[in-house]
Amino acid sequence: MTRLTDPLATMPGVPQAFDAPEDAAEFRRPAHRPGVELYRAAIVRHAFEPHAHDGFGVGAIEAGVERFRYRGSDHLAPPDSLVLMNPGEVHTGRAETEAGWRYRMAYVDEALVQALTGERWRFADAVAADAPRARRVGRLLAALWQAADEPLAFDGLLADLLAALQPHARADHAAVREAMPRFAPVLDYMQDRLAERLTLEELAAVAGLSPFHFLRRFREAQGATPQQVLMSLRLLAAQRQLAAGVAPAEVAAATGLADQAHLTRAFAARYGVTPARYQRQIRAR
């Protein structure tokens, strides 16, 4: 497997972002509908480092098996399974089998999901073994990709996608929101200081805990270290700035990365494409 198998697998003039030729990934964003990104990939060798996405991450495994860490646990996503992630959750991703895995995802802002469904969603399970629904979701994601330039058709398909996923969604219970109340100020503090060099002692003081107690509790609550979460926040900010047309070198400086090369390595490790390629893909339409 050297490329995604459908005819829109690559964009002309866009170089590969992976070291291994077997690996390929691509983003697309509909111009008319803020808050939605589409993604498709075929991964054999690459291992995604801890990262997060602004919106819900929903998708289907078309072939192969993915292993990923999410909320402190490892998960396996086999063929014809759904992958269901809540906004901002740090996770990884790598192939579990020699042949890798192929999948499609949509990243949809929480506010848009609520507007389209009239509900506040949360997913309890990161992987759902629901083959008929996974195949339907895969078809809808493929159709959304094709309809990115057709606003009315796209929005109808997006509503169909959320309707297909609704049986796996749960109401947002207060207990979930209260699971890590004292770390909300820490996340806000990180968000406001992305370009600064932060210390464990500094973050622990915001939480009102001793440094190592803070580190243990933070990892329990977030499923990742403070540095991993900070890098995830930096890369989310980088995504938003790249989408707005900011030059990669400026993005690197604004988000606390050492230089453009550091941004490129970190971005590709988490999202599967270089910053320049991501920017061309989502701004090509």
Task: Spell out the domain ranges in the chain.
Answer: 24-171, 183-284
Overall fold of domain 24-171: Jelly Rolls (2.60.120)
Q: For 183-284, which CATH class?
A: mainly alpha
The pLDDT assigned to 9 comes to 38
pLDDT greater than 60 at residue 166: yes
**Lowest-pLDDT range, 15-24, 83-92, 115-124, 199-208?**
15-24
Query: Could you tell me which residues come within 8 angstroms of residue 248 by beta carbon, excluding any fewer than 6 positions away?
Result: 242, 260, 263, 264, 275, 276, 279
Question: Can you tell me the mean pLDDT for 157-169?
Answer: 95
Q: Which of 93, 49, 107, 114 is nearest to 240 (CA)?
A: 107
The pLDDT assigned to 216 comes to 83
Question: Can you tell me the mean pLDDT for 44-53?
Answer: 94
What gap in Å lies between CA 133 and CA 45, rounded to an integer? 28
Question: Can you tell me the mean pLDDT for 212-234?
Answer: 88
The pLDDT assigned to 15 comes to 30
The pLDDT assigned to 19 comes to 77
Asked if residue 203 lies in contact with residue 187, where contact means CB atoms within 8 angstroms, the answer is no
pLDDT digits (tens, 9 = 90+) for 102-142: 999 999 999 999 989 889 999 999 999 999 999 999 999 99
The pLDDT assigned to 221 comes to 84
Q: Which of 109, 142, 162, 184 is nearest to 40 (CA)?
A: 142
Q: Which of 285, 276, 272 is nearest to 13 (CA)?
A: 276
Integer CA distances (angstroms), 167 to 51, 62, 158, in order? 27, 20, 16
What gap in Å lies between CA 106 and CA 160, rounded to an integer? 13
> What are the DSSP E strand ranges found in 109-230?
121-123, 127-128, 169-171
pLDDT greater than 90 at residue 217: no
Whether the pTM exceeds 0.85: the reply is no
Mean pLDDT of the chain: 88
**What does residue 168 show for φ and ψ, rounded to 5 degrees?**
-95, 0
